[in-house]
Amino acid sequence: MVLTIDIGNTKTKAAVFDGERLVEHIVFEQFNKEDIVNLFSRFDLLKYVIVSSVNPEKERRIAQLLDEIDAKYHLLSYKSPLPFEIDYLTPETLGKDRIAALAGAYAIAGKGNYLVIDCGTCNTYDLLIDGHFVGGNIAPGIQMRLDAMHHFTAALPQCSIENGFEPKQKMHNAQLGLTTREAILNGAYWGVINEINGYIEKYLKEYNNLKVILTGGLFNLNIIDNSSLLTSHSSLFFEPMLVPKGLNFIAKNISK
């Protein structure tokens, strides 16, 4: 069994796999030694840990905790055994969550051409073509856009995705706000929707047999409604567990 640990900007997500089967997935506000010990005690067949972190300091702390319990582990990096080549000019700066998500594409759909879209704190758009990561883009997520509009202006109020997109039916059908608050929310929401659709439409035209994979917190929380996307494309997948499945896929390659 494999334990994957995905340390994000705000939360840590742990997943236990038995082969390719996801046994358990837990989201932690804080992740400490007690949590790791508890997982190892509950899953006595747990043999290996793979860690992905966007925060170097938190990664070092998790590695220290794993050393203390004498666990066998691997820290994901661009040097890890991956199912694709990285053409990024600065691979050492490539987000590990992005690497894991690209590996997740292989885990769920095998070899192929992929556009991986991950919507969370930031939105990332990454292209995997003919076994090569050819590059990608990073843009502000919905909440970051809302925060920026408030922070960099004198009069615009602070809005939040946690309570700002209700009722959804109204927000999705009325693309023009009738109040300043609605205008801010609609601007952030439809800005992201049009951005996503623009990337999908562009790369479907440029690459043959392109598969589009959607993942990330905004999809998981149903903040982005798939009915607003180009879902008529037959090769569009939604996979909430893309990063842990990618980490598990890489871990299996390491153990070979």
Reading the block at residue 157, the tokens are 């109020």
* Nearest in space to 5 (alpha carbons), one of 23, 38, 31, 33: 31
DSSP string, 155-218: SPPP--HHHHS-SHHHHHH--S-SSHHHHHHHHHHHHHHHHHHHHHHHHHHHSTTEEEEEESHH
Integer Cα distance of 155 and 213 in angstroms: 38
For helices 96-109 and 242-255, angle between their N-to-C axes, nearest 10 degrees: 80
CA nearest to 242, candidates 120, 102, 126, 112 = 102
Helix (H, G, I), strand (E, B) or coil at 50: strand
Residue whose C-alpha is closest to residue 214's, from 186, 243, 194, 190: 243
Type of residue found at 240: P
Q: With contact defined as beta carbons under 8 Å apart, do 215 and 243 qualify? A: yes
Burial code (b: 16+ CB inside 10 Å, e: under 16) for 96-105 equals bbbbbbbbbb
Q: Is the dihedral of CA 168, 174, 178, 184 positive or negative?
A: positive
Would residue 97 show up in a list of annotated catalytic residues for this protein? yes
Marked catalytic residue, from 6, 97, 118, 126: 97
Q: Which residues are part of the catalytic machinery?
A: 97
